Amino acid sequence: MLAINNIEVVYDNVILVLKGVSLHVEQGSITTLLGANGAGKTTTLKAISGLLRTERGQVTKGSIEFNGQRIDGMRAFDLTALGVAQVFEGRRVFEHLTCEENLIAGAHVQRDYGKVRDGIDRVFQYFPRLKDRRYQQSGYLSGGEQQMLAIGRALMSSPKMMLLDEPSLGLAPMLVEEIFGIVSRLVAAEKLSVLLVEQNATMALGVAKHGYVIENGRVVLEGSAEALKKNSDIREFYLGLNEVGSRKSYREVKHYKRRKRWLS
Amino acid sequence: MGEDLDFFFSLVVSGASIGMLYSLIALGFVLVYKATEALNFAQGEFVMLAGFVAAALLTAKGMPVVLALIATIAIMIGFSFGLERVVLRPLLGRPIVAVIMATIGLAAILRGLPPITFGGDTRTVPLPIGDNAFSLGPATIAPIQLYGVIVTLLFLAGFTWFFMKSRKGVAMRAVAENQQVAMAMGINVERYFAIAWAMAGIASAVSGIIWGNMLGVDVQLALVGLKVFPVVILGGLDSIPGAVVGGLIIGIVESVASAYIDPYVGGGTKDFVPYLLMIAALMFKPYGLFGKRKIERV
C-alpha cells in the first residue's frame, strides 16, 4: 500500500537526516517504526505526509509510493485528500476550537456535509468520552482526551492510511492501553493501514504485524513483530529485558555492556 | 439639569455611531490577524485608498451609484488579494516583525501615492442618501452615520456567523491556530490567507466609502486608521465582538471626554484619550475584553 524506496531527506540543503530508508506498509495492518530520539522517525512520517516542505526539508533521493502513485514532493493538503492522515506527536489539537470544531476542521476534504455528520458520529462511537466534551474548548481536555481527539480528527478525512506519531507520549499506562486497543479495533473494522512511530516498543510490537528499527537515519533491522520481539538486540535495547527474559537489573548494566550487533 | 442630560445623551449617541464605524475599520484588521497572525499597520491607508477609488468612481460621468460601489469593493478585494500574493506571501514563516515592518513600509507608500496620481485636493464621495438628520430623542444623527452603523452591524453579524458556524470559518480558525497541523487536515493554508485578506479588503472598501463620505477623501483620511489600535487592543486582537465593543467604548469615551474636557485644555482630547484607554487595557486586560487567552494546562 505504502512503499518507501531508499529515500534520503535533507534539511536546509545541508543536514542529511535520512540516509536511505526503505519500508513497506501493508493494507489493513499496523506497521511500527521504532527508534531512539533523533533517529529520524518523525522525519520519515513528514516525508510521507508532505510536511517536510514546511520545515525546509526535502526528499533528495529515492521515492515514496502510495497505492502505486508517486507521492514524494506532493503538497500536504493534497495528500490528505488522497487518503493519508497524520496524527502529530504531542497531539496538537486546535486548542481554542471546541472538540466538535476540531473534528469539523479535520473533515475539511469532505465535500458533503452529511459525511461530516456521519464522521463525527463515528468518532464518538470509537471515543465515547469525546461526546461528553463535545462543546468544550479542546485546550482544556486531559492529555488522553486530546490524544483521542487527535486520532478522531485524523479519522474525519476518511483516510486509507494513518501516520501515528507517538500516541503514548506523556500518557498513563492504562490510557495508552485503551488508545492502542481502539487503534487496533479501527484497523480491523475500517481496513485502515497504520504506520506507528513509537518509543514504547513493548506496546507497539504488541499491536503491530511488522516492524522496522531505525537508527541514525538508517533502517537497521526489520521483521515481523513476532521475530522482532524474539530478537536479542531488541529485547536488550528496546524492551529492557536480558537474555533470560527477566527484567534487567541495574547491577548487571554496570558490569557488562552489551554491544549492538548492527552497525549504525 | 434636563438639558445637561440631553446633551450627554446626544454625545453618547454620536460617540456610539462613530464608534461603530471605527469597528468597521477594526474589522479589517481583526480578520487578517485572526487568520494569519499578521498585524496590518496599513489598515488606515487601505481605507484611504478605498476612499480615493470610491471618490473617483462615484464622480465619474454616467456611472450608476450601485455599480460604482460594487466596483470599489471589487477593486479593493483585488488589491488586497494582490498585496497578499506579492508582498506578504514571501514573508510566510518569517518572524512577525518582518510582516509588521512590511505593512508599515506599505502604509508610507500608500500615503505617498494619491498626491502623485490624484493630486492633493480633498475629494468628495457623493452618496444619494439626502441630508436630513434622523432624530433619536434629543440626539440627532447624520444619515451617513445611521446607514454606516446599519451596514457595520450587518457585516459584523455576517463575519461572526462565518467564523463560528461555517466550515470554511472553522478551517480559517484552525489555520490561525497552527498552520502545519491545518495543512495536514487537508486545508490549503495559503488559499485561506488570501481569503482573509480579501475579506479585509471588503471591510476596507466599505469603511472607505462611509468615512470618505463623512470626512472627504485626502491623505488625512488614513489617520482614522490610528483609532484601530485602541479599539482592537481593548476588544481583543482576534475577536469580532471585541471589535464592536472596543469601537463603541472608544467612540463614546472620546466623544464625551472631548466635549467636557476640551473647553479647559483647548482641544486634542479626542486624540489621546483612546490611547490612555489602550495603555490601561494593556496593563489590566492584556488579551483585551474578548481576545482568546493562551491556554496553559498544569
CATH code, B43: 1.10.3470
The verdict on A92 and A154 lying in the same domain is yes
Q: Tell me, yes or no, whether B289 lies in a domain.
A: no
Q: Note the helical H segments in B178-289.
A: 179-184, 189-215, 228-235, 240-265, 269-284
Cβ atoms of B295 and A95 closer than 8 Å: yes
The verdict on A167 and A180 lying in the same domain is yes
The verdict on A123 and A244 lying in the same domain is no
Domain assignment of residue A242, given as a range:
231-264
The verdict on A38 and A118 lying in the same domain is yes
Q: Tell me, yes or no, whether B293 lies in a domain.
A: no
* DSSP symbol at A68: T
What CATH number should be reported for the domain holding residue A124? 3.40.50.300
Q: Tell me, yes or no, whether B295 lies in a domain.
A: no
Domain assignment of residue B60, given as a range:
2-284
Tens place of pLDDT per residue across chain B (298 aa): 578 888 999 999 999 999 999 999 999 999 998 888 888 999 999 999 999 999 999 988 888 999 999 999 999 999 999 999 998 888 877 788 888 899 999 999 999 988 888 877 888 888 888 778 888 778 888 899 999 999 999 999 999 999 999 999 999 999 988 889 999 999 999 999 999 999 999 999 999 999 999 999 998 899 998 889 999 999 998 888 899 999 999 999 999 999 999 888 888 888 889 999 999 999 998 888 888 877 776 6
Chain A within 8 Å of B182 (Cβ-Cβ)? Answer: yes
**Which chain A residues are closer than 8 Å to B292 by Cβ?**
96
**3-state helix vs strand vs coil in chain A, percent to 5:** 40, 25, 35
Strands of chain A, DSSP E: 2-11, 15-25, 30-34, 57-66, 69-70, 84-87, 161-165, 193-198, 210-215, 218-224
Give the chain A residue whose CA is nearest to the CA of B186. A77
The verdict on A155 and A64 lying in the same domain is yes
pLDDT at B286: 86
Of B93, B177, B180, the CB nearest to A97: B177
Q: Tell me, yes or no, whether B290 lies in a domain.
A: no
Kindly list the distances between the CA atom of residue A259 and the CA atoms of A214, A221, A232, in Å, as whole numbers in the listed order.
Answer: 17, 15, 11
The answer to whether the CB atoms of B170 and A157 lie below 8 A apart is no
How many domains does the structure of chain B reveal? 1
Cβ atoms of A217 and A242 closer than 8 Å: no
Question: Do β-strands A30-34 and A193-198 pair in parallel, antiparallel, or remain unpaired?
Answer: parallel
A166-175 as b/e: b if 16+ CB within 10 A: bbbeebeeeb
- Distance from the Cα of A33 to chain B's closest Cα (Å) equals 20
The verdict on A52 and A91 lying in the same domain is yes
Strands of A1-88, DSSP E: 2-11, 15-25, 30-34, 57-66, 69-70, 84-87
**Cα–Cα distance measured from residue B166 to residue B159, given in angstroms and rounded to the nearest whole number:** 10
Closest CA to A195 of A219, A227, A160: A160
Quote ipTM for the complex: 0.87
Grid coordinates of A199: 518509543
Closest CA to B20 of B219, B255, B218: B255
Give the chain B residue whose CA is nearest to the CA of A93. B181
Question: Do β-strands A84-87 and A193-198 pair in parallel, antiparallel, or remain unpaired?
Answer: unpaired
Q: Tell me, yes or no, whether B297 lies in a domain.
A: no
How many domains does the structure of chain A reveal? 2
Chain A within 8 Å of B195 (Cβ-Cβ)? Answer: no
The verdict on A67 and A194 lying in the same domain is yes
Q: Tell me, yes or no, whether B298 lies in a domain.
A: no
The verdict on A120 and A148 lying in the same domain is yes
Low-confidence ranges of chain A (pLDDT < 50): none
